[in-house]
Amino acid sequence: MPDKFQSFIGGKWADSETRASYANINPADINDVIGRFPACGPADVERAVESAVKGFERWSRVPAPKRGEVLKRAGDLLTLRKDEIADGMTREMGKPLTETRGDVQEAIDTAYYAASEGRRLFSHTAPSELRDKMGFAIRRPAGVFGIITPWNFPLAVPSWKIFPALCCGDAVVWKPAQDTPWTAVKFVEILLEAGLPPEAVQLVTGFGGEAGAPIVSHRKVTGVSFTGSTAVGCRIAAVCGEMGKPVSLEMGGKNAQLVMDDADLDLAIEGVLWGAFGTTGQRCTATSRLILHQAIHDEVVGRLTERAKKLKLGDGRRKGTDVGPLINEDSRDKVEKYVRIGQEEGATMATGGEIPSGNGLERGWFYRPTIFTDVTPKMRIAQEEIFGPVLSVIRVKDFDEGIEVMNGVRYGLSSSIYTSDVTRAFRAIDRIEAGITYVNGPTIGAEAHFPFGGVKDTGNGHREGGWPVYDFFSDLKTVYVDYSGKLQKAQIDT
């Protein structure tokens, strides 16, 4: 019998009202069932939101520095349990242990950042235009937030949302991806152990249609923060738009690394291997296009292909594994579909393009790191997000064409340029249409205390990470105090 896990609703661990549950499976070995988790539905969401409203009343009255102390303890507990959580996270979503340890570390960093923000939560003040009058804005808790998160960073991405929300005094109703409920259970356990009032966090496991959608449309849910696909994000935004709710969206990417003729090629090759095939290419920041200056194109392709062939596929919990499996069958099918599309479009497959077997690989959703060359900018494999270990290489004649190709997609999350020319580097920073640009580093590796997010179809103007996210999760109240003892009229008593 597989282990049975529960959601956390109404201040206690609970099954779904309908008792429906689903199996959570190790993507590196589909015979390994991690456990059964509640498949929650609208009735569970109703209970969760009602309870979160009470949690908000209580938590929002705790002084912000004290809220920060709870988050500090959560960071300490994550630090103590880093290896255990990384191990379980790899088991449930596949990326190698070094990466899941990084995922936990990102949550720890975010916890400590949020903890210290409890003693700031700065806002604005400015001199009044009138005598004997003062004006300032104060930051206030905003309400109950719906948090909907993906499986590729099962702890880091939720922590980017949940810690700042809690720091601001909000309560959260969290629907984690159906593929990574185990990590979510661990996160909630830690929040409770750290001293969070139970009703301030609600964990609703299950599927988007049944468990996610009712959170988004619930009238007592103040706002929604979502990371996932552009298609789902836009549907969520439509509902929030109708209801006048704030919504923060972090969506698709088609990130490129541009390598110029003056680049350090060793560095550029290391960078693209990590950016394209780390997390099996399943990051919204993953490098899925490599734009090469024609002068170094053949050399980079030759050396990169050799290196990619040597990447070791396997169970992420086994030592020496470079690349884990895809998250599930649908994701691998999608990768296979795009590889076929690439071939039909006339791109050349330099390596990969197959499902591996042997050494137990047939038990998981593995796919060989794949590189397409002779890709032209309008091909679907150069335009659409694949979310897997597939890299499209595009040759350009110069810097201007490189930037044009880089910008010629609907997304704008991350980007990278390798060059030793400082002028080119700054021109690239200026001209690349993306929320993040790396110089001489791959497209992945965002740090917890910097703004994170994208332009164009990647986002809707909000940022996570760093300080901007605190704007999203709090309200501003502007206060005017007139101590003149008479009626003063702004704009009229000039």
Chosen residue from 67, 186, 283, 297 binding ligand UN1 by CB under 6 A: 283
Q: How many residues bind ligand UN1 (CB under 6 A)?
A: 11
178: contact with ligand UN1 by CB under 6 A: no
Which H helix or E strand runs over 58?
helix 42-59
Closer Cβ to ligand UN1, 6 or 285, answer by number: 285
If one asks whether residue 108 binds ligand UN1 (CB under 6 A), the answer comes out as no
Is residue 469 a contact point for ligand UN1 (CB under 6 A)? no
- From CA 129, how far away is CA 131, in angstroms rounded? 7
CB of 255 to ligand UN1, least distance (A): 10
Read off the DSSP letter of residue 312: P
| CA 264 distance to own-chain centroid | 30
Tell whether residue 157 is a contact of ligand UN1 (CB under 6 A).
Answer: yes
Stretch of residues binding ligand UN1 (CB under 6 A), selected from 107-115, 149-157, 162-170, 354-362: 149-157
Length of the chain: 494
CA torsion sign for 355, 361, 364, 370 is negative
Q: Contact, 229 vs 251, CB < 8 A?
A: yes
Closest distance between ligand UN1 and the C-beta of residue 389, in Å?
A: 14
Strands lying side by side in the sheet with 287-293 = 348-351, 370-373, 390-396, 287-293, 255-259, 415-418, 438-439
148 binds ligand UN1 (CB under 6 A): no
Residue linked to tokens 């690394």: 257
Residue from 145, 151, 153, 277 touching ligand UN1 (CB under 6 A): that is 153
CA gap 475, 478 in Å, rounded: 10
Helices (H), 365-455: 380-383, 399-407, 422-431
Centre a 10 Å sphere on the Cβ of residue 256 and count the other Cβ atoms it contains. Answer: 29
From 71-79, 384-392, 440-448, 474-482, span contacting ligand UN1 (CB under 6 A): 440-448
Q: Which of 152, 255, 321, 416 binds ligand UN1 (CB under 6 A)?
A: 152
Indicate whether 161 belongs to the interface with ligand UN1 (CB under 6 A).
no
Does residue 445 touch ligand UN1 according to CB under 6 A? yes
Q: Does 234 participate in catalysis according to the annotation?
A: no
How many C-alpha atoms does 254 have within 13 Å on its Cβ side?
Answer: 24
- In this chain, which of 21, 60, 230, 285 binds ligand UN1, going by CB under 6 A? 285
- The tokens describing 30, both together, are 């589909």
- Closest CB 321 distance from ligand UN1, rounded Å: 19
93 part of the interface to ligand UN1, by CB under 6 A? no
Q: Find the binder of ligand UN1 among 64, 409, 444, 469 (CB under 6 A).
A: 444
CB of 277 to ligand UN1, least distance (A): 13
The 3-state DSSP class for residue 127 equals strand
Does 392 contact ligand UN1 by CB under 6 A?
no
Per the residue annotation, which of 40, 167, 168, 284 is the catalytic one?
A: 284
Please answer whether residues 316 and 99 qualify as being in contact, where contact means their C-beta atoms are separated by less than 8 angstroms.
yes
> Would you say 36 or 462 has its CB closer to ligand UN1?
462
Q: Strands 370-373, 390-396: parallel, antiparallel or unpaired by DSSP?
A: parallel
DSSP letters spanning 26-39: -TT-TT-EEEEEE-
CA distance 334 to 323: 18
Tell the smallest beta-carbon distance from residue 284 to ligand UN1 (Å).
4
Say if CB 442 and CB 257 are below 8 A apart.
Answer: yes
Q: Which is nearer to ligand UN1, 218 or 283 (CB)?
A: 283
- Residue closer to ligand UN1 by CB (options 169, 388) is 388
Structure tokens at 324: 């884990």
Nearer to ligand UN1, 55 or 453 (CB): 453
- Cβ proximity to ligand UN1: between 55 and 181 the closer is 181
Nearer to ligand UN1, 55 or 435 (CB): 435
Q: Are 174 and 200 in contact (CB under 8 A)?
A: no
Using CB under 6 A as the criterion, which residues of the chain lie in contact with ligand UN1 when the complex forms?
A: 106, 152-153, 157, 227, 283-285, 444-446
- Residue positions annotated with a catalytic role: 284
